[in-house]
C-alpha cells in the first residue's frame, strides 16, 4: 500500500492500473470510480487508517477492453507495470516488494492499440497555443499543432480568434491540450467546456523559450530549419504536442514525422455548426451511417477510409491540386478493368501505418509484423500494375509503392508462421525451418519422449543390451538402467569411457552419459529457450522494419491514395456522378443536381428529383458578386434538401471527387456557411432562437465574396414581424455587404418583393399541386414565388387532430380576410387571436323554445309558487328539446 500510495500521488488525475500478477488492481477512490464505470465488483483488501480499502481489478488479457470503456467515458489511466521478476524481489527478502512504475499514461488522444482505436478514423491530439496581444483591439493569434501518434502524422497551423472554432472542427481531435491559463480564460472557458476531452496542463508545456530546443531534441537534430519555416507561436504549439506525447508515453518514443506547416487558406473553412448541419462525417445524432462520408465511402482499407475522411474535412481551394485528384479519378472511371484489379489487390493490404507505429513503440505483436509484410507484398504488386499510369495522383502513388525493398517482405514471410498469436510472449509464431536452433529446441520441448526413445534405441544397439532402458526421476533426472549382470560390463572398458556410474540397486545398476546430461539440460530449458529464440527473431524483424520505416510509410500513404481514387471512381460509376469544372471564377452553375445522401436513401422507393441551381456572379464588374436565390414554398417540399445538396456538391467538387449532377461549374468556395435546422444550447444558456442568431451573426460578419452561404428560415423563432424584419435585413446585408453566393429559404413571402430592387436576388419556389384538399409535393425548383405555405396541409399529414386542423383553417380564413382588407403591417392588431385558448368562432344564434318561454315571465309580478312552477316548466322544455 505504501508503494501504491506513492505512485498514485504522482498521478493524481489518472486512474491507476496497478499490476499485481495477472491483474491490474485499483484501490481507494479509483476502485470506487472504476467499479461504477465498468460495472465490475467492488471488494476490499486490508485496512488503511482503520478503514477498509476498496479494491477492484481487471485481468491483464482483457485490459484493453476496459481501457476503451474508461477512455470513452473521459477518464485518463496510468498503467503501472511490474519492473522486475517477482523471483528477483524474493532474493532481497521474503517480504520485499516487486519494483513497479508507471510506463504509460493512456489518454483519449494518445492511443495506439487497434482495440482502442477506430480503424477508419484518425485520432488526433491537438495542442492550442495563444499569443498575448500587445495592443487593445488587435486580434488574438493562436497556433494549432495536431498529431496522430498511431500513424505519426504531425501538422501545425496558425489561426485567429474568428477562425479558431472552425479550425478545431476540421481537425476533429480526440483530445485537446491547452495551458491552465487558457483553459481558465473567462471568454474561452465556455468554449472549452463544449468538448468532451480537454486537458489543461502547466504553462511550462507551452514555454516559447525552450520550444525549438525541445523539438530538436525529440527528432534528434541540431536544428529544425530543415523541417520548414515556423512562427514562434507555431513552435510553441508543436513543442507542447511532442512534450505531452513524451510525458504520456514515458517508456517508449512515438515515431512522429517532422511537423508540416499548413498554409492559411489552403482548405475550405467550415465551422462546427455548418459541419453539424450538413452532417459531413456524422449525423446530428452522432452516427456515421446517414452522413455524407458514409454515403460516398467505397474504400476497402482502413488507411483509405481515414484519408477520405481527412479530405472531406479539408476541401481544397487550389484548382490545380483539385484537378490532380480529379485526373486520377477520371482515369479510373474509364479503366474499369484496372479499377477492379486495383481494388481486389487493395483488399489484402492491412494497416501498415499503425502497425509500424506499434513496432517502433515496442507494442507490436506478431500480427503487426505480418501486416507490414502483407502490405509490402500488396504494394509491390500494385506498383507493377500502375507503373505506367501518369494521370494526377496515380503517378506519385506508383512512385511511393515502389519504395520498399522487396527483400523485406520475403524475409517477413519466410520467418513468420501462417497462424499467429496475438502476443509475442506466447511464442509459436516463427515458421518451422527458419532457425535451426529453434527447431531443435521445439523438438526437445514438444517431442522429448520420442527423442529419449530414439537415444535408448541407439544405446541398446551400441551396447548389444536390448533390455537397456532410459528412465527419469526427480533425484537423478534422466539415467540409463540395465540389469545387474549387464551393469558389471559398464564398469569396465570400453563402456566405462562413455557410461558413468550413478547408482547400484538390487538387481539393477544406473548410469548416465555426457550426451544424456546435455540432452536433459536442453529438455529442461527447451521451452524457455524456444521463447527466447522466437523473441530474438521478433527483434531482428522489428529492426529490419524500422530501418525501412520511411519507405514503408511512403508505401502506406500511396496505398491510401490509390484506395481513395479507386473508391471515388467506383462511386462515380455506381451513382452516375460527373467531373465538375473547378476554377477561380465566381461561378456556381449546377445542372440536374442531386443530394448524395438522400438519393441513396430513397433509391429503392423512388427516383430522386434533380434540380438546377445557378448562383454565378460576375467577376470584376460593376455590381459584381454572387447571386442570391430566395426560395419559398411549403414545408416538406424539399427546400432544405435543395439547400444542402448544393453545399454538399461544392464540398465534393473541392475534395477532388465527381459530383451528383448532369454538369457542374464551381468557382472555388473559400468558406462554407450553413444555418439550417433548430436546436438549443442549454449548456451555454442559449435558446433555440439565440443559437440561430449567433450562427447568423457569424455568417454575416465573416462571409466574403468567395463564400457559399445557405440559410433556412431565418427569423422564424421570434414574433412574426421581428422575424420578418431580421430576415429582410439579412438578405439586404448578404446582397450589399457580403456579396457572396447564397441560398436563402424562407416562409416570409413578403421578402420576394426585394427582387425588384436587389439586382442579384432571384426568386425561386418549390412546385406543388393541390388535389382534393390535399397537397402533392413535386420536389421541383422553379422560378417564381410561392403565395402560401400549405402549413395546414402538412399539419394534417403529420396527424394533428381534426378539430385542430378545422380550427386552424377558420383562423387562417379570418387572418387572410384581414390581410386583404388592410396592409400587412396592421396584422398585429389581430394577434390576440393566438393569445387566448382555442375556442369555436361565434355562430349565428338559433331559436331556442326554452328561451322563448322566458319572454312570457315577469319576475316582479310572480309569487314564489309561480316562480317555482316556472322553473319546472323551463326544465321540462329543455328535457323535451334534448330528446332525439
Q: Is 319 within any annotated ligand binding site?
A: no
Query: Three-class SS of residue 354?
Result: helix
For residue 55, the SS3 value is strand
DSSP 174-238: SEEEEEHHHHH-TTTHHHHTTSS-EEEE-GGGG-STTHHHHHHHHHT-S-SGGG----HHHHHHH
Half-sphere exposure of 58 (CA within 13 A, CB side): 23
Strand order in the sheet with 774-783: 269-270, 671-675, 708-712, 741-745, 628-632, 761-771, 774-783
Decide if 755 contacts 762 (C-beta within 8 A). Answer: yes
Query: C-alpha dihedral over 344, 347, 348, 351, to 10 degrees?
Result: 150
Written as nine digits, the cell of 623 is 455590381
Q: Is 626 assigned a ligand-binding role in the annotation?
A: no
Cβ neighbours of residue 24 closer than 8 Å, sequence gap 6 or more: 17, 18, 57, 58, 60, 63, 79
The stretches of 471-614 forming alpha helices (DSSP H) are 484-490, 514-547, 549-575, 596-601
C-alpha cell at 625: 458578386
- Report whether 633 belongs to an annotated binding site: yes
Hey, is 579 helix, strand or coil? coil
640 is in an annotated binding site: yes
Using DSSP's 3-state secondary structure scheme, residue 33 falls into: helix
**What single DSSP character describes residue 496?**
G
User: Does the annotation list 361 as a binding residue?
Assistant: no
What 8-state DSSP symbol labels residue 257?
Answer: P
Cell of 644: 444542402
Locate cell 403565395: which residue?
787
Q: How far is CA 346 from the centre of its chain?
A: 22
Q: What is the rounded CA–CA span in Å between residue 545 and residue 348?
A: 19
Sheet with strand 125-131: strands edge to edge: 198-201, 175-179, 125-131, 141-148, 153-160, 260-261
Q: Are strands 508-512 and 628-632 parallel, antiparallel or unpaired?
A: unpaired
Q: Is 847 flagged in the annotation as binding?
A: no
Give the distance, in angstroms, between the CA of residue 96 and the centroid of all CA atoms in the same chain.
Answer: 46
Terminal C-alpha separation, the chain: 90
Q: Which grid cell is 844?
A: 349565428
Quick one: which of 858, 593, 684, 537 has its CA closest to 187? 684
* DSSP bridge partners of 505: 508
d(CA 731, CA 729): 5
Return the closest-CA partner of residue 298 out of 574, 538, 514, 518.
574
β-sheet bridge partners, residue 130: 142
Phi, psi angles (nearest 5°) of residue 138: -80, 135
Helix axes of 514-547 and 366-386: crossing angle, nearest 10 degrees? 50
Burial class (CB in 10 A: 0-12, 13-18, 19+), 433: exposed
Binding-site positions read: 633-640
Binding-site positions for ATP read: 633-640
Amino acid at each position: 500500500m505504501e508503494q501504491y500510495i506513492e505512485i498514485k500521488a504522482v498521478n493524481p488525475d489518472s486512474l491507476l492500473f496497478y499490476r499485481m500478477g495477472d491483474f491490474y488492481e485499483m484501490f481507494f477512490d479509483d476502485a470506487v470510480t472504476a467499479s461504477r464505470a465498468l460495472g465490475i465488483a467492488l471488494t476490499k483488501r486490508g485496512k488503511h487508517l482503520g478503514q477498509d480499502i476498496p479494491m477492484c481489478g481487471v485481468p491483464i488479457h482483457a485490459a484493453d477492453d476496459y481501457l476503451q470503456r474508461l477512455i470513452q467515458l473521459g477518464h485518463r489511466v496510468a498503467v503501472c507495470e511490474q519492473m522486475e521478476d517477482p523471483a528477483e524481489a524474493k532474493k532481497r527478502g521474503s517480504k520485499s516488494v516487486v519494483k513497479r512504475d508507471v510506463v504509460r499514461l493512456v489518454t483519449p488522444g494518445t492511443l495506439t492499440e487497434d482495440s482502442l482505436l477506430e480503424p477508419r478514423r484518425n485520432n488526433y491530439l491537438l495542442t492550442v497555443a495563444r499569443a498575448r496581444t500587445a495592443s487593445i483591439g488587435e486580434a488574438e493569434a493562436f497556433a494549432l499543432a495536431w498529431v496522430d501518434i498511431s500513424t505519426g502524422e504531425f501538422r501545425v497551423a496558425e489561426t485567429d480568434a474568428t477562425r479558431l472554432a472552425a479550425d478545431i472542427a476540421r481537425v476533429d481531435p480526440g483530445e485537446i491540450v491547452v495551458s491552465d491559463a487558457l483553459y481558465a480564460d473567462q471568454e474561452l472557458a465556455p468554449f472549452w467546456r463544449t468538448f468532451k476531452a480537454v486537458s489543461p496542463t502547466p504553462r511550462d508545456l507551452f514555454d516559447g523559450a525552450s520550444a525549438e530546443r525541445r523539438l530538436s531534441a525529440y527528432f534528434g537534430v541540431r536544428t529544425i530549419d530543415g523541417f520548414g519555416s515556423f512562427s514562434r507561436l507555431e513552435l510553441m504549439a508543436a513543442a507542447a504536442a511532442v512534450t505531452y506525447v513524451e510525458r504520456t508515453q514515458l517508456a517508449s518514443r512515438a515515431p512522429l514525422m517532422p511537423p508540416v506547416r499548413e498554409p492559411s487558406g489552403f482548405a475550405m473553412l467550415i465551422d462546427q455548426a455548418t459541419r453539424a448541419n450538413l452532417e459531413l462525417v456524422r449525423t446530428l445524432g452522432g452516427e456515421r451511417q446517414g452522413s455524407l462520408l458514409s454515403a460516398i465511402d467505397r474504400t476497402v482499407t482502413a488507411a483509405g477510409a481515414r484519408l477520405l475522411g481527412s479530405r472531406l474535412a479539408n476541401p481544397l481551394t487550389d484548382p490545380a491540386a483539385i484537378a490532380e485528384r480529379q485526373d486520377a479519378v477520371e482515369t479510373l472511371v474509364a479503366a474499369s478493368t484496372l479499377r477492379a484489379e486495383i481494388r481486389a489487390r487493395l483488399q489484402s493490404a492491412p494497416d501498415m501505418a499503425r502497425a509500424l507505429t506499434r513496432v517502433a513503440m515496442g507494442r507490436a505483436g506478431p500480427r503487426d509484423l505480418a501486416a507490414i509484410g502483407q502490405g509490402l507484398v500488396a504494394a509491390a504488386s500494385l506498383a507493377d500494375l500502375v507503373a505506367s499510369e501518369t494521370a494526377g495522383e496515380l503517378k506519385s502513388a506508383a512512385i511511393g509503392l515502389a519504395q520498399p525493398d522487396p527483400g523485406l517482405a520475403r524475409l517477413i514471410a519466410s520467418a513468420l508462421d501462417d497462424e499467429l498469436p496475438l502476443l509475442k510472449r506466447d511464442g509459436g509464431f516463427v515458421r518451422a525451418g527458419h532457425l535451426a536452433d529453434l527447431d531443435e529446441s521445439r523438438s526437445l520441448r514438444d517431442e522429448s519422449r520420442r527423442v529419449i526413445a530414439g537415444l535408448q534405441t541407439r544405446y541398446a544397439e551400441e551396447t548389444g543390451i536390448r533390455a537397456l532402458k532410459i528412465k527419469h526421476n526427480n533425484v537423478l533426472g534422466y539415467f540409463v538402467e540395465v540389469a545387474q549382470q549387464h551393469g558389471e560390463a559398464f564398469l569396465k572398458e570400453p563402456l566405462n569411457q562413455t557410461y558413468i556410474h550413478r547408482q547400484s540397486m538390487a538387481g539393477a545398476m544406473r548410469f548416465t552419459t555426457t550426451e544424456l546430461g546435455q540432452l536433459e539440460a536442453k529438455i529442461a530449458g527447451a521451452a524457455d529457450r524456444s521463447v527466447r529464440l522466437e523473441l530474438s527473431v521478433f527483434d531482428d524483424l522489428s529492426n529490419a522494419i524500422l530501418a525501412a520505416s520511411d519507405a514503408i510509410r511512403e508505401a502506406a500513404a500511396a496505398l491510401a491514395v490509390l484506395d481513395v481514387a479507386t473508391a471515388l471512381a467506383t462511386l462515380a460509376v455506381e451513382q452516375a456522378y460527373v467531373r465538375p469544372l473547378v476554377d477561380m471564377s465566381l461561378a456556381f452553375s449546377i445542372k440536374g443536381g442531386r443530394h448524395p445522401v438522400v438519393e441513396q436513401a430513397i433509391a429503392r422507393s423512388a427516383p430522386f428529383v434533380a434540380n438546377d441551381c445557378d448562383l454565378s456572379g460576375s467577376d470584376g464588374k460593376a455590381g459584381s458578386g454572387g447571386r442570391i436565390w430566395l426560395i419559398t414554398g411549403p414545408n416538406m417540399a424539399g427546400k432544405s434538401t435543395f439547400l444542402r445538396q448544393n453545399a454538399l456538391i461544392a464540398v465534393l467538387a473541392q475534395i477532388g471527387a465527381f459530383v451528383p449532377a448532369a454538369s457542374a461549374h464551381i468557382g472555388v468556395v473559400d468558406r462554407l456557411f450553413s444555418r439550417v435546422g433548430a436546436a438549443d444550447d442549454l449548456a451555454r444558456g442559449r435558446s433555440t432562437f439565440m443559437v440561430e442568431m449567433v450562427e447568423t451573426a457569424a455568417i454575416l460578419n465573416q462571409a466574403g465574396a468567395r463564400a457559399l452561404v445557405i440559410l433556412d428560415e431565418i427569423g422564424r423563432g421570434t414574433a412574426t414581424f421581428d422575424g420578418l424584419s431580421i430576415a429582410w435585413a439579412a438578405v439586404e446585408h448578404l446582397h450589399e455587404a457580403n456579396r457572396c453566393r447564397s441560398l436563402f429559404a424562407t416562409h416570409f413571402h413578403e421578402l420576394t418583393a426585394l427582387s425588384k430592387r436587389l439586382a442579384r436576388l432571384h426568386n425561386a419556389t418549390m412546385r406543388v399541386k393541390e388535389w382534393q384538399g390535399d397537397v402533392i409535393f413535386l420536389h421541383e425548383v422553379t422560378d417564381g414565388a410561392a403565395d402560401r405555405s400549405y402549413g395546414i396541409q402538412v399539419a394534417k399529414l403529420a396527424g394533428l387532430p381534426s378539430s385542430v386542423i378545422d380550427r386552424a383553417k377558420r383562423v387562417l380564413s379570418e387572418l387572410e380576410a384581414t390581410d386583404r382588407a388592410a396592409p400587412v403591417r396592421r396584422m398585429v392588431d389581430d394577434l390576440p387571436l393566438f393569445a387566448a385558448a382555442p375556442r369555436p368562432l361565434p355562430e349565428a344564434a338559433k331559436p331556442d323554445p326554452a328561451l322563448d318561454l322566458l319572454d312570457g315571465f315577469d319576475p316582479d309580478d310572480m309569487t314564489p309558487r309561480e316562480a317555482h312552477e316556472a322553473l319546472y316548466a323551463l326544465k321540462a322544455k329543455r328535457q323535451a328539446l334534448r330528446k332525439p
